[in-house]
Structure 1
Amino acid sequence: MAGKYDELASQIVDLVGGKENVNSVAHCITRVRFKLKDESKANDDAISALPQVIKVMHANGQYQVVVGNIVEDVYDAVLKAGGFSDGGSVDAEEDDGPKKPADVIIDLISGIFQPMLGTFSAAGIMKGLLALITFIWPDFANNGAYTTLYTVADGMFYFLPVVLGYTAAKKFKMSEFNGMAIAFALVYPTMVALTSGEVVGSVTLPVLGTFSWYADFMGIPIIMPASGYTSSVIPILLMVWFGSKVEKWVKSWIPAALKMFFVPLITVTVTVVLGYLVIGPIATVICNLLADFFNLLFNLPAVGSILGCVIVGAFWMCLVIFGFHWSLVPIAISNLGTLGHDFILGSVIAHSFSLGAVLFAMYLKNKDQNFRGIALPAIISSFFFGVTEPAIYGVALPDKKAFINACIGSAAGGLIIGITGAVVYMSGGLGVFNWLSFIDPSGVNGINHMIFAIIASAVGAVVGFALEFITYKAPEQA
């Protein structure tokens, strides 16, 4: 039986140069992402003109077809149309040619984090809902239902290194099970429990701070963060990258008859041991330095918090366009793991509301039905789900002025966040669901930061709407 998007998918595959021109295909929350052998064979104009295609982009060494919220259905149809293997890969060597360093970095980060974002956001939404329920009904925290639901909310955060071990292994082209085995060793309960024991030694380094250890490996200190490596990001990424090099090296010399067992044995053992002794402490230093940098920016006397929030809020959608917003995601998740809160994600709360309001102003003044058919779903997507690509690429960016007005509204929301000092306490959903991320699970700030987030969202929406409503002229009025 033909699927709803089979014809669209078949046209897309043909117009990118046919399946023989495709090295691999993947998707994020709004885009089907092709890696093509020769991008010049793809017909940008013809693909952009297809129904339900919002825009075509060339970014991060990928050919990206933006289709919005129907991306998963279109992606499945593309796999079917091209006969691609599960996960979007085809049986061909990738040959993307030289890339700019920035493209390589962003492609790496997005490739690791994109596959997990849907489930990660769902866990964050559950965390926010539980925080809201226990704020209203404190005794619920003692209920078995709360404990059960909290496993849904916190399980993925706690075992985040395992998830990243899998996605990073795929990206670094090593065995996914070896990557997961390395991650399992990082979150193994016995190792996690070490940091609750007695400190057997410590050292203080200038700028970097004090490092303590609770056990040693044949006389070498095992230096770990106080909370261990659960919920951590950078340590597992560095370890899997190193493990991929070890695995490749072992495969190059070990006899074929021994590969099945000894490649995993040597790869995982060497990586875990050096991970705990060398890579982990280096990753901890990196995390501390990154956190210190943003703390320094956001805590500059008098203007730091305001300046940081306004700058990040104003340029967040610009970063989204080029994919550079992914460079901030690991830092934000690291902040949540080390500080228990994050100011980066907090500062951008208003961007989707400002963008949605800008489109709503355009919607009210533009009576063209084709325009309205594109704008209305993008408005809903921006407001309620925080998915902004359809609004950016389909409406705001082509208008230019609308995009600038949306950025100004986002900056206004960032200003409110900066003034109030509101932060997120979890990586939750997007749009209205992101408000729940501002609830303090400890109860110290309660829902105060969520209220500030709602105010910031409203201010961003009002500023964006007002600027666009005053300045926008529909085509028939121009």
Structure 2
Amino acid sequence: MAGKYDDLARAILENVGGRENVNSVAHCITRVRFKLKDEGKANTEVIEKLDGVIKVMQANGQYQVVVGNKVEDVYDAVVAVGGLAAGGEVEADDEDAPKGFAAKAIDLVSGIFAPMLGTFAAAGIMKGLLAAATTFFPAFKADGAYTILYTVADGMFYFLPVILAYTASKKFKMSEFTGMAIGLALVYPTMVALTGGEVVGSVDLGFAGTFSWYATFFGIPIIMPASGYTSSVIPVLLMVWFGSKIEHWCKQHMPASIKMFFVPLVTMTITICFGFMIIGPIATLITNLLALLFNTLFGLPVVGPVVGCLIVATAWMPLVIFGFHWSLVPIAIMALTTQGYNNITCAVIGHSFALGAVMFAMYLKNKDENFRGICLPAIISSFFFGITEPGIYGVALPDKKAFVIACLGSAAGGLVMGLSGAVSYISGGLGVFNWLSYIDPGTFGTGITNMIWAIVASMVAAVVGFVIEYATYKSEAAK
């Protein structure tokens, strides 16, 4: 049976140079992301005129076709009609990899985090809903229903190293199951419980924190953070990268007759042991230093939170255009897992509301039916789901001034967050669902205060964007 988007998928594949020009294909929340052997063979002008395509972006070694909320259906159709391998990926040649440090770094981070963000956000939404429920109905926390629903909310956060081990293994081209075994070792109950025992020794590294160990490995201290490695980010990424090097070496030097069992045995043993002895403490040190850097910026007297929030909120949408916003995602997750709150990306709460309001002002003044047909879905997507690419590429960027005004609105929302000192406590949904992320789960005693500030920041961003755009917009420009 033909799928709804099969014709669109065929047209896209034909105009990217055909199936034979595709090294790999993946998707994020709005874009089908191709890695092409030769981007010169792609007919960008034709693709951008296809019904259902919003924009084409070429960045970080990827040919990105922006299709909006229907991205999963279009991606599935591309995989099906193109006869691509299961999962839609074909091994890319080394010469087709992104060039330059920045491009490689963004490609690496987006490749690791993008596949799990939808489910990660869904778990965050459930956490927010439960936090709201127990805030207004405290007795609900003692109910069995709360316990079951909390596994939906917290399971992915707790076992985050396992999820990241899987996606990182694919990115580093090693066995996914061997990578997951490394992640599982980090959250193994015995190792998690180890930090609850008696401290055998410790060393104070000053501003980098105090490092303690609770057991030894043949006399070598097993240094672990007090909370263990559950919900951690950097340790598992470094361990899987190291493990991929071990695995590749073993595959090259071991006899074929013993590879099946001994490659994963040697890889897991060396990586896990070395990981707990060396990589884990190094990763903890990196985590502490990154946290110190951002806490120093945001902790500067009077101006810290304001300056930090203004910078992040103003730059967020320009970063989205080039995919550079991915660089802040692991830092935000790290902040959540180390200090229990996020004061970094919480500043961007207003960006989707500012963009949605700017587009709404344009929608009211521009009576062109084609323009309104593009604008209305983008407004809904931006306000309610926080997905801004359709609005950025399809409406705001072509107007240029509208994009600048949306950034100003986002900055106004960031200013409110900076002045209020509000932080988020979970990595939840986007748009209106992101408000739930600001409800205190009961750890810091702030209740719904930060959520109120998040709503205020969103409304301020929307009002600033709407008022400026409505006062200055001329519909002829859009035509």
Smaller-chain TM-score range? over 0.9
Residues 308/84 of structure 1: CA separation in 2 closer, same or farther (3 Å cut): same
The answer on whether the counterparts of 1:23 and 1:94 sit within 8 Å (CA) in structure 2 is no
1:210 matched to 2:210? The reply is yes
Measure how far apart 1:152 and its partner are: 0.3
Q: Deviations over 1:304-326 (max 9, x none)?
A: 00110011001111111111111
Aligned-residue RMSD, C-alpha: 1.2
Residues 244/34 of structure 1: CA separation in 2 closer, same or farther (3 Å cut): same
Measure how far apart 1:93 and its partner are: 4.0
Residues 53/155 of structure 1: CA separation in 2 closer, same or farther (3 Å cut): same
What's the TM-score, normalizing by structure 1?
0.99
Runs of at least 5 residues in structure 1 that lack an aligned partner in the other structure? none
Moved more, 171-180 or 93-102: 93-102
The answer on whether the counterparts of 1:37 and 1:94 sit within 8 Å (CA) in structure 2 is no
Q: Alignment length, in residue pairs?
A: 478
Alignment of 1:90-129 (within 5 A): 90=90, 93=93, 95-96=95-96, 99-129=99-129
Match of 2:377 in 1: 377
Q: Deviations over 1:395-446 (max 9, x none)?
A: 1011111000000000100011011110000000000000000000016000
SS where residue 87 of structure 2 aligns? coil
Letter in 2 for 1:377: P
Moved more, 77-86 or 447-456: 77-86
Match of 1:393 in 2: 393
The answer on whether the counterparts of 1:298 and 1:305 sit within 8 Å (CA) in structure 2 is yes
**Residues of 2 paired with 1:43 and 1:215: CA distance?**
61
Q: Deviations over 1:28-65 (max 9, x none)?
A: 11000111000000001000000010000101101010
Measure how far apart 1:256 and its partner are: 0.3
Letter in 1 for 2:451: M
Letter in 2 for 1:460: A
Match of 2:82 in 1: 82
Letter in 2 for 1:309: C
Measure how far apart 1:91 and its partner are: 6.5
Same amino acid, percent of matched pairs: 71
Measure how far apart 1:207 and its partner are: 2.8
Measure how far apart 1:205 and its partner are: 1.7
The answer on whether the counterparts of 2:23 and 2:37 sit within 8 Å (CA) in structure 1 is yes
**Residues of 2 paired with 1:345 and 1:279: CA distance?**
27
Runs of 4+ more than 3 Å apart: 90-95
**Residues of 2 paired with 1:91 and 1:168: CA distance?**
15
Match of 2:189 in 1: 189
1:158 matched to 2:172? The reply is no
Measure how far apart 1:208 and its partner are: 1.5
What's the TM-score, normalizing by structure 2?
0.98
**Residues of 2 paired with 1:215 and 1:473: CA distance?**
69
SS where residue 257 of structure 1 aligns? coil
Q: Deviations over 1:368-410 (max 9, x none)?
A: 0100010000000000000000000111011111000000000
Match of 1:447 in 2: 448
Measure how far apart 1:95 and its partner are: 3.6
SS where residue 342 of structure 2 aligns? coil
**Residues of 2 paired with 1:94 and 1:243: CA distance?**
20
The answer on whether the counterparts of 2:409 and 2:462 sit within 8 Å (CA) in structure 1 is yes
Residues 220/97 of structure 1: CA separation in 2 closer, same or farther (3 Å cut): closer
Alignment of 1:23-172 (within 5 A): 23-90=23-90, 93=93, 95-96=95-96, 99-172=99-172
Runs of at least 5 residues in structure 2 that lack an aligned partner in the other structure? none
Residues 465/176 of structure 1: CA separation in 2 closer, same or farther (3 Å cut): same
Measure how far apart 1:94 and its partner are: 5.5
Measure how far apart 1:303 and its partner are: 0.5
Match of 1:459 in 2: 460
The answer on whether the counterparts of 1:412 and 1:459 sit within 8 Å (CA) in structure 2 is yes
Match of 2:416 in 1: 416
